[in-house]
């Protein structure tokens, strides 16, 4: 029996798994014992990775909609030709930008890079990803504050910290194997800031039960208290940051007198929290979607960064302002998808950067776009207005996951050509398309993913492909050839070729990986970036900023802040409650196209959309456990749910797991100003018995 090691393609923890394979069949899956990320553990999703494309078989051949509106199988060469002919026709008729793509953090880095080449450069189209729904806020916050989009920590910091503060993060469910390290760190005080008594709250020492979306007020108030008490690291601030005086002035407005009314946290508790931060020797702050998916999200993330800076909790063991990523290759997509930045975090509007990339690609510099893509919401808007006529969706399921998702289903009717490339042809998005391109899963791919601590890990083909099956990489190549990319594609022949190009893109950038060799990643312990040519793999758990040099022009961290603005909508008689949403269980992944294949998950999770409501509210409204309710949203839509009575939510709040279509019927068309990330976690609603 062969034993092959590969990385899990679900979440950003990036556990490695050993697959026991005989006659092209997986007999057993085991977590890799000497991989530094998971040390012999994994969660239910990783353990069942072999179930992909088994119960729900993919179509091996592409599907094309005929004149009668029915989907029929076609051979690959016809699919590529159809793609190329239709897209070119549309671009000729309506202009280059009448086509767009939406992609993902769930394919390999080589694949996102090739899509970026074919889509953004050759076709000249806009293209954004599901990372916009997820990490866009952290990206902007990092760039503005640190000068580059780089999560600075190593997961080991969770073990080394004496004060761990989670803000809008539920790692017990969402990053379960990273949580193991918190559990193992018996000396740390664990504090969780969440409006909901989440699974992480239940396992923490302290719950800061904040009012939804008031984190920014709490964080500014904490900064004010720390500064006024001189509980700050003056040397650190002076030597390594810029703009402190402005920040100090700014937070003066956020006084203790107002804090309870605005955040729900009493003066006493704010003071206690400030004191814990002050007394901690190694304080780490970890944030995820409860921060990123908000209205003033970027500034909230930066308020966390600012707290870490003023207390000198940056760049040392067990410290940091740390944003956890979500999907297995969110980081690969951020660095190499060629969407919001040019490859490897380079600037579209920098002529030298364009020239550098063009040279590597062996193309004319004027082929490279001079500006980043338009964002996701703008793509949807332009489909609605008729400016965008063709859409290519890869590895994401916007018919479920996009805000106000019923609208997505409506707007795609405006498209003249809609392509979906997915593992399955029966996702809610694929059901609507004209051309469906089926890809094999990570089990049959090669390449690399980058996890939440910037660790590159090899995707190793566990099974060989059957006749007619293609990887996303091969699909992009087929499309590129049909579009007539020509000679420039020679550089991209295989994922290994792409890896060499990616290395060159990274050269001299903070995410430099010129020292990594393709084969060196296989059966390895992974490599964290940066890893420059000549670097030695001595310490395999490395953090950024240990030298306190940042990627800004001055080399110092910038304080970025802004007055708190009122939320666009507050609870009112027609919509008295706030609906929150997020991950429901460890076993469920997003829109469930993949985890529906895991029998144990299907057995133990609810099959229909449900909403958690407080027992007092249920009593007031005469709603019983498991009764059907109708939720009406201020976005103009309504949807049915099953009520689950639970005091994990406060009386005026509701929580709906995101894994069901109905949840995003209700979410608002509200975005952060700077990141354009949707504010999924706050919408005012009403609820009634049916
Ligand atoms: N099992 C499982 N694991 C996953 C995923 C999955 O689908 N299933 N998805 C992966 C992906 S892509 C991502 S991005 C991550 C997401 O990981 P997380 O961000 O940890 O997960 P969420 O449940 O979306 O949100 C976290 C918490 O934010 C809280 N929250 C809501 N509003 C506020 C607020 O105003 N302030 C504060 N402080 N908290 C608030 C919610 O109550 C929730 O408990 O998970 C990854 N891991
Ligand atoms: N209400 C609410 N909505 C949310 C969120 C929330 O917290 N609340 N969270 C948001 C966040 S953080 C995220 S990341 C998004 C996720 O939203 P989506 O990206 O829409 O969710 P997935 O179900 O992961 O969709 C991925 C699709 O890609 C397919 N796929 C998987 N692997 C491959 C592959 O290798 N190749 C190809 N071609 N296809 C593949 C899967 O079958 C699936 O159909 O949802 C967002 N939506
Ligand atoms: S924690 Fe994440 S990476 Fe690890 S096995 Fe579970 S889903 Fe996969
Ligand atoms: Mo995400």
Is the CB of 396 inside a 6 Å radius of any atom of ligand 2?
yes
- Residue 598: HSE in the Cβ half-sphere, 13 Å Cα cutoff: 20
pLDDT of residue 82: 98
Binning pLDDT at 50, 70 and 90, where does residue 62 land?
very high
Residues 319 and 338 occupy one common structural domain: no
Binning pLDDT at 50, 70 and 90, where does residue 537 land?
confident
DSSP label at residue 350: -
304 Cβ contact list (under 8 Å, min separation 6)? 167, 219, 285, 287, 291, 321
Residues 104 and 119 occupy one common structural domain: yes
Mean pLDDT on 657-682 = 98
Residues 187 and 236 occupy one common structural domain: yes
Structural domain contains residue 564: no
Task: Name 73's bridge partners.
Answer: 63
Residue that has been written with the tokens 């394919």 in this structure? 107
pLDDT of residue 538: 79
Structural domain contains residue 121: yes
Nearest CA to ligand 1 atom 13: 326
Residues 174 and 312 occupy one common structural domain: yes
Per the omega criterion (within 30 degrees of 0), is the bond before 689 cis? Answer: no
Residue 200 C-alpha to ligand 1 middle, in angstroms?
A: 11
Q: How many domains does the chain have?
A: 4
DSSP per position, 500-554:
HHHHHHHTTSTT--TT--TGGGTTS--EESP--TT---S-SS--S-TT---SSTT
Residues 312 and 423 occupy one common structural domain: no
Nearest CA to ligand 1 atom 17: 174
Query: What CA–CA distance (Å, rounded) separates 61 from 436?
Result: 9
pLDDT tens sequence across 497-533: 999 999 999 999 999 999 999 999 999 999 999 999 9
Among the bound ligands, the one closest to the CA of 437: 2
Structural domain contains residue 375: yes
Calculate the alpha carbon distances from 293 to 170, 216, 253, 570 in Å: 14, 13, 25, 17
Nearest CA to ligand 2 atom 7: 582
Tokens of 163: 């004060």
Structural domain contains residue 57: no
Residues 107 and 244 occupy one common structural domain: no
Mean pLDDT on 106-127 = 98
Structural domain contains residue 561: no
DSSP per position, 558-625:
EP---PPPPPS---BTTB-EEEEEE---TT--TT-TTGGG-HHHHHHS-SS-EEEE-HHHHHHHT--T
- Alpha helices, DSSP H, located in 362-471: 376-385, 398-401, 405-411
Residues 414 and 465 occupy one common structural domain: yes
* Residue 543 clears pLDDT 80, i.e. is over it: yes
Let me know if 234 is exposed, middle or buried by CB neighbors in 10 A (0-12, 13-18, 19+): exposed
6 Cβ contact list (under 8 Å, min separation 6)? 16, 17, 19, 442, 443, 458, 459, 460, 462
Query: Is residue 588 within 8 Å of residue 11, measured between CB atoms?
Result: no
Mean pLDDT on 273-290 = 98
Measuring from each residue's beta carbon to the nearest atom of ligand 3, which residues come in under 6 Å?
8, 10-11, 13-15, 38, 42-43, 45-46, 176-177
**Cα pseudo-dihedral 642, 648, 650, 656, rounded to 10:** -40
Own/partner long-range contacts of 361-369 (Cβ < 8 Å, ≥24 apart): 361/117, 361/121, 361/488, 361/491, 361/501, 362/487, 362/488, 362/491, 363/121, 363/488, 367/121, 367/122, 367/124, 368/121, 368/342, 369/120, 369/121, 369/124
Residues 247 and 373 occupy one common structural domain: no
* Residue 155 clears pLDDT 90, i.e. is over it: yes
pLDDT of residue 10: 98
Task: Name 30's bridge partners.
Answer: 18
Binning pLDDT at 50, 70 and 90, where does residue 60 land?
confident
Kindly give the number of the ligand 1 atom that is closest to the alpha carbon of 170. Answer: 20
For 307-338, b/e burial (b = at least 16 CB within 10 A) is: bbbbbbbbbbbbbbbbbbbbbbbbbbbbbbbb
Is the CB of 582 inside a 6 Å radius of any atom of ligand 2?
yes
pLDDT of residue 59: 82
pLDDT tens sequence across 354-372: 999 999 999 999 999 999 9
pLDDT of residue 56: 86
* Residue 231 clears pLDDT 90, i.e. is over it: yes
- Pick from 143, 188, 144: which is nearest to 165 by CA? 188
Kindly give the number of the ligand 3 atom that is closest to the alpha carbon of 10. Answer: 7
pLDDT of residue 222: 98
Mean pLDDT on 489-493 = 97
Q: Give the domain range for residue 27.
A: 2-51
536 Cβ contact list (under 8 Å, min separation 6)? none
pLDDT tens sequence across 406-430: 999 999 999 999 999 999 999 999 9
Residues 83 and 219 occupy one common structural domain: no
Binning pLDDT at 50, 70 and 90, where does residue 267 land?
very high
Residues 20 and 75 occupy one common structural domain: no
Tokens of 259: 């804090």
Structural domain contains residue 557: no
Among the bound ligands, the one closest to the CA of 457: 3
Query: Is residue 447 within 8 Å of residue 109, measured between CB atoms?
Result: yes
pLDDT of residue 100: 98
Is the CB of 663 inside a 6 Å radius of any atom of ligand 2?
yes
Residue that has been written with the tokens 């042809």 in this structure? 425
Structural domain contains residue 556: no
Query: What CA–CA distance (Å, rounded) separates 664 from 657?
Result: 10
Binning pLDDT at 50, 70 and 90, where does residue 287 land?
very high
Query: What CA–CA distance (Å, rounded) separates 401 from 424?
Result: 16
Query: Is residue 147 within 8 Å of residue 550, measured between CB atoms?
Result: yes
Last residue of a domain, one of 467, 502, 528: 528
pLDDT tens sequence across 74-111: 999 999 999 999 999 999 999 999 999 999 999 999 99
Task: Name 390's bridge partners.
Answer: 99, 417
- Pick from 169, 192, 139: which is nearest to 287 by CA? 169
Structural domain contains residue 570: no
Last residue of a domain, one of 489, 511, 528: 528
* Residue 570 clears pLDDT 80, i.e. is over it: yes
Residue 401 C-alpha to ligand 2 middle, in angstroms?
A: 7
Is the CB of 437 inside a 6 Å radius of any atom of ligand 2?
no
Nearest CA to ligand 2 atom 40: 395
Considering the chain, what is the average pLDDT of its residues? Answer: 97
Query: What CA–CA distance (Å, rounded) separates 562 from 165?
Result: 23
Kindly give the number of the ligand 3 atom that is closest to the alpha carbon of 11. Answer: 2
CATH number at residue 380: 3.40.50.740
Is the CB of 593 inside a 6 Å radius of any atom of ligand 2?
yes
CATH number at residue 188: 3.40.228.10
CATH number at residue 32: 3.30.200.210
Is the CB of 329 inside a 6 Å radius of any atom of ligand 2?
no
CATH number at residue 633: 2.40.40.20
Measuring from each residue's beta carbon to the nearest atom of ligand 1, which residues come in under 6 Å?
11, 134, 167-171, 173-174, 193-196, 198, 210, 212-213, 215, 288-290, 326-327, 580, 582-583, 586, 588-590, 681
pLDDT tens sequence across 621-659: 999 999 999 999 999 999 999 999 999 999 999 999 999
* Residue 541 clears pLDDT 90, i.e. is over it: no
Is the CB of 393 inside a 6 Å radius of any atom of ligand 2?
no
Model pTM greater than 0.85?
yes
* Residue 539 clears pLDDT 80, i.e. is over it: no
* Radius of gyration from C-alpha coordinates of the chain: 24
Mean pLDDT on 659-681 = 97
Let me know if 226 is exposed, middle or buried by CB neighbors in 10 A (0-12, 13-18, 19+): buried
Mean pLDDT on 677-683 = 98
Q: Where are the beta strands (DSSP E) in 200-239?
A: 206-208
Nearest CA to ligand 2 atom 4: 401
Last residue of a domain, one of 493, 508, 528: 528
Residue 598 C-alpha to ligand 2 middle, in angstroms?
A: 17
Task: Name 19's bridge partners.
Answer: 4, 29
Residues 459 and 605 occupy one common structural domain: no
Residues 162 and 127 occupy one common structural domain: no
Angle between helices 472-483 and 76-94 (to 10 degrees): 50
Q: What percent of the chain has pLDDT over 70?
A: 100
């Amino acid at each position: 029996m062969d034993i092959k090691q590969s990385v899990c393609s679900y979440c950003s923890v990036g556990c490695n798994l050993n697959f026991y394979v005989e006659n092209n069949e997986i007999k057993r899956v085991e977590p890799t014992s000497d991989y530094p990320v998971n040390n012999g553990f994994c969660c239910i999703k990783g353990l069942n990775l072999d179930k992909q494309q088994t119960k729900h078989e993919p179509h091996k051949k592409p599907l094309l909609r005929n004149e009668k509106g029915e989907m029929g199988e076609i051979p690959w060469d016809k699919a590529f030709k159809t793609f190329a002919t239709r897209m070119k026709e549309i671009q000729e008729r309506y202009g280059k930008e009448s086509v767009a793509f939406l992609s993902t953090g769930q394919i390999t880095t080589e694949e996102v890079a090739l899509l970026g080449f074919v889509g953004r450069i050759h076709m000249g189209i806009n293209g954004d990803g599901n990372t916009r729904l997820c990490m866009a806020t952290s990206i902007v916050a990092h760039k503005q504050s640190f000068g580059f989009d780089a999560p600075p920590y190593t997961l080991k910091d969770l073990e080394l910290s004496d004060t761990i503060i989670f803000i809008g993060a539920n790692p017990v469910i969402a990053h379960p194997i990273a949580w193991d390290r918190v559990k193992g760190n018996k000396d740390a005080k664990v504090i969780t800031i969440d409006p909901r008594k989440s699974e992480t709250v239940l396992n923490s020492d302290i719950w800061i039960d904040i009012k939804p979306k008031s984190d920014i007020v709490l964080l500014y108030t904490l900064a004010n208290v720390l500064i006024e008490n001189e509980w700050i690291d003056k040397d650190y601030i002076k030597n390594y940051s810029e703009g402190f005086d402005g920040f100090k002035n700014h937070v003066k407005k956020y006084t203790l007198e107002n804090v309870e009314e605005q955040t729900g946290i009493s003066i006493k508790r704010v003071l206690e929290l400030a004191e814990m931060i002050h007394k901690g020797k190694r304080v780490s702050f970890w944030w995820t979607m409860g921060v990123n998916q908000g209205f003033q999200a970027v500034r909230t993330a930066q308020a966390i960064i600012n707290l870490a800076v003023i207390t000198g909790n940056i760049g040392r063991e067990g410290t940091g302002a740390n944003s956890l990523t979500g999907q297995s290759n969110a980081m690969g997509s951020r660095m190499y998808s060629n969407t919001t930045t040019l490859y490897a975090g380079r600037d579209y509007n920098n002529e030298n950067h364009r020239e550098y990339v063009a040279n590597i690609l062996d193309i004319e510099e004027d082929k490279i776009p001079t500006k980043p893509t338009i964002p996701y919401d703008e793509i949807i808007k332009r489909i609605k207005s008729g400016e965008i006529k063709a859409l290519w969706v890869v590895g994401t399921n916007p018919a479920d996951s996009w805000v106000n998702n019923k609208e997505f289903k409506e707007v795609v009717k405006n498209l003249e050509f809609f392509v979906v490339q997915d593992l399955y042809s029966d996702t809610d998005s694929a059901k609507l398309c004209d051309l469906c391109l089926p890809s094999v899963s990570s089990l049959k791919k090669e390449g690399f993913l980058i996890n939440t601590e910037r660790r590159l890990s090899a995707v190793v083909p566990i099974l060989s492909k059957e006749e007619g099956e293609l990887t996303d990489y091969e699909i992009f190549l087929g499309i590129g050839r049909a579009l007539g990319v020509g000679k420039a594609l020679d550089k991209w022949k295989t994922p290994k070729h792409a890896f060499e190009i990616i290395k060159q893109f990274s050269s001299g950038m903070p995410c430099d990986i010129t020292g990594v060799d393709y084969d060196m990643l296989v059966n390895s312990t992974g490599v964290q970036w940066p890893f420059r040519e000549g670097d030695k793999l001595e310490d395999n758990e490395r953090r950024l900023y240990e030298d306190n040099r940042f990627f800004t022009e001055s080399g110092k961290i910038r304080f970025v802040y802004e007055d708190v603005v009122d939320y666009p909508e507050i609870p009112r008689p027609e919509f008295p409650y706030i609906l929150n949403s997020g991950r429901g269980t460890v076993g469920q992944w997003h829109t469930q196209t993949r985890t529906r294949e895991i029998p144990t998950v299907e057995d133990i999770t609810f099959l229909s959309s449900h909403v958690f409501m407080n027992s007092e509210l249920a009593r007031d409204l005469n709603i019983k456990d498991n009764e059907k309710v109708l939720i009406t949203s201020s976005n103009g839509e309504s949807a049915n749910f099953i009520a689950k009575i639970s005091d994990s939510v406060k009386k005026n709040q509701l929580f709906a797991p995101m894994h069901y279509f109905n949840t995003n019927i209700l979410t608002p068309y509200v975005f952060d100003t700077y990141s354009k990330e949707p504010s999924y976690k706050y919408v005012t609603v009403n609820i009634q018995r049916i």
